Amino acid sequence: MARGSVSRDIAGLLLCLAVSHLYASQIVDRRLSDILNELWKLDKNRLRPGTDYNISLQGKAGYVASGSNVARDYASAPLFSYVNEEKLRSIKTFSSLMNLLDNYEPSTGVAEKVTAEEIAENNRFLSAILETEVMKRAHRYLVAKGQSQSSLRDFKNQLYNIWFRLYHRDRRGGEDSCGFEHVFVGETKYGKELVGLHNWVQFYLQEKQHHVDYKGYKARDKDMPEKDDHILNLQFSWKGLVKPVGSAFVGVSPEFEVAAFTILFLTSKEKVTTAVVNLDEYQVELVVYRHGRSIGTAYPKLLSSNNRHV
């Protein structure tokens, strides 16, 4: 066989493998989709776009080089143009979440000092979400899968260890991080990189205090956002550090986020777990990084919105 033919055959094989890998990565996890859609329907505390809050998408964000904290601003106004804070604070799970957001030192490498009151606040948050139908259904699901104990006390302890157990993210100092801090609050590494911060309530509150600057949305054809979407890929800066591509649920309750990511975390033992799900009118890739027996990070990545994948 001619050398050119061999090269073409190898190139063709590599192309087939690449296409197969891409296709496999987009295979929808039907079982996970089913339980998450159940939780979505049970999420009575989810805020309504256009009624409880408004977002202003503005421009599409540009490219930011790796390691750079310089980004052109394609959004002159904040992302959140309105949030009904009175309603937000009247919902027990949201109000208890908001009480936790100032409990952390954002810099990795600086040991967290957790007070007795902060531990009590963590437990009040878990108690609040465990009262919701979302978490009750998630608990039953995990018990049926053999991943959680039927005792509510044991399940609460399990959630505490997954989300609030402190660990080393930076080996220079003491225990400086936990899953909740990374996902819901945000962190900075070496004062040069912004990591985490995937929660819309924290984003809104930090934006209100002028700590967050929304730069614009990130999108391709299928995931072009609309103002009533509940999932958004975006670019922003926080305390002067740029996140080139971030992502978050918008308007959803903290119990839904905790339930979804806990289920993905407990039903896999991989260091990094990804799953594509069809959720309501969205196709989403859910990502969870494991840090021992706790969550390292967890976030949604919008693949398609407004049923464009159907």
Question: Catalytic positions, please?
Answer: 182, 198, 243
Bridge partner list, 273 = 288
Distance (Å, whole) CA 265 – CA 162: 9
With beta carbons less than 8 A apart as the criterion, state whether 225 and 61 touch: no
Q: How many CB atoms lie within 10 A of CB 266?
A: 18
The Cα 254–Cα 95 span in angstroms is 10
Strand, coil or helix: 242: strand
CA distances from 16 to 2, 26, 307 (A): 21, 15, 28
Which 3 state secondary structure label does DSSP give 216?
strand
Where does 228-281 show beta strands of DSSP type E?
A: 231-238, 241-249, 272-279
Q: What is the rounded CA–CA span in Å between residue 295 and residue 310?
A: 32
Which helix (H) or strand (E) segment is 265 a member of?
Answer: helix 254-266
Kindly tell me the sign of the dihedral angle through the C-alpha atoms of 190, 191, 193, 197. Answer: positive
Distance in Å from the first CA to the final CA of the chain: 44
* Burial class for 233, CB neighbours closer than 10 Å (0-12, 13-18, 19+): buried
* Per-state percent for the chain, helix, strand, coil, to nearest 5: 40, 25, 40
